[in-house]
Amino acid sequence: MFWGEYMSEQYQEPLKGTTTVGLVFEDGVVLATEKRATMGYMIASKKAKKVYQIADRIGMTIAGGVGDAQQIARVMTVECSLYNIRRGRAMSVAAASTLLSNILNNNRYYPYYVQLLVGGFDESGPSLFSVDAMGGATREEEIVATGSGSPMAYGVLEDRFTKGMKRKDAISLAVRAVRSAMKRDAGSGEGVHVVIITKDEYFEVPEEQLPKTNAAATA
């Protein structure tokens, strides 16, 4: 095996084994993930945290290496706090995504093995960005999914998403997408973690309050 092929395999491997979903609804953003962490074929954790609050109205989902992801979350939390203190205002979602992109790009030769979603609410309204390990940042207008379960999640999101969805329907759709991935992807499972971010709140939805079935969401 050539070194380039080996590096390509090493780059791809840490991005496997999870499902994260983001979508923009009428009043904000929904971020949803499952809770399984794997080490090869072993389930290392059934309560893995994959959504982090990095600012008052900004959240970040993680896919990839746990240590790298946690380090990035700590750095972003500190940077967002410092920005608020120095500027006297909260960092926008776009600015947070750009900062995250710069951090990852500056470390591209010794990369963080992560794939991230950044979503939140600011003066421009709700917005959602995907950021890869090399620092590429893309604004997602409606829906996005990452991780090994993303093909299954996208199948649900593409079929059911409509612009201007109500909060309840957006939650149902995000949960449906993650659960669909959990049924077919061995790296995804154990439960669903959902965060709602609006102008007024960053809210982690208790799992017992999530929809119990995969009933179709309507707008």
Query: Above 90 in pLDDT, residue 169?
Result: yes
Joined together, the tokens standing for residue 78 give 């500190």
pLDDT at 181 over 90: no
Total residues belonging to the chain:
219
| Mean pLDDT, all residues of the chain | 85
Strand order of the β-sheet with 125-131 is 51-55, 58-64, 114-122, 125-131, 137-140
Task: Express each pLDDT in 9-60 by its tens digit.
Answer: 444 444 446 889 999 999 999 999 988 877 777 787 788 888 999 999 999 9
- 3, with CB counted inside 10 A (0-12, 13-18, 19+), is exposed
Share of the chain above pLDDT 70, in %: 89
Tell me what pLDDT residue 45 has. 78
Beta-bridge partner residues of 61: 51, 117
Confidence band of 217 (pLDDT split at 50, 70, 90): very low
Question: From CA 51, how far away is CA 185, in angstroms rounded?
Answer: 19
Which of the residues are catalytic?
Answer: 18
Q: What would the 3-class secondary structure string for the chain be?
A: CCHHHHHHHHHHHHHCCCCEEEEECCCEEEEEEECCEEECCEEEECCCCCEEEEECCEEEEEEECHHHHHHHHHHHHHHHHHHHHHHCCCCCHHHHHHHHHHHHHHCCCCCCCEEEEEEEEECCEEEEEEECCCCCEEEECCEEEECCCHHHHHHHHHHHCCCCCCHHHHHHHHHHHHHHHHHHCCCCCCCEEEEEEECCCEEEECHHHCCCCCCCCCC
pLDDT band at 202 (very low <50, low <70, confident <90, very high): very high
Domains within the chain, CATH numbers bracketed: 19-209 (3.60.20.10)
Q: What pLDDT is recorded for position 216? A: 44
At 1, is the pLDDT very low, low, confident or very high (cuts 50, 70, 90)? very low
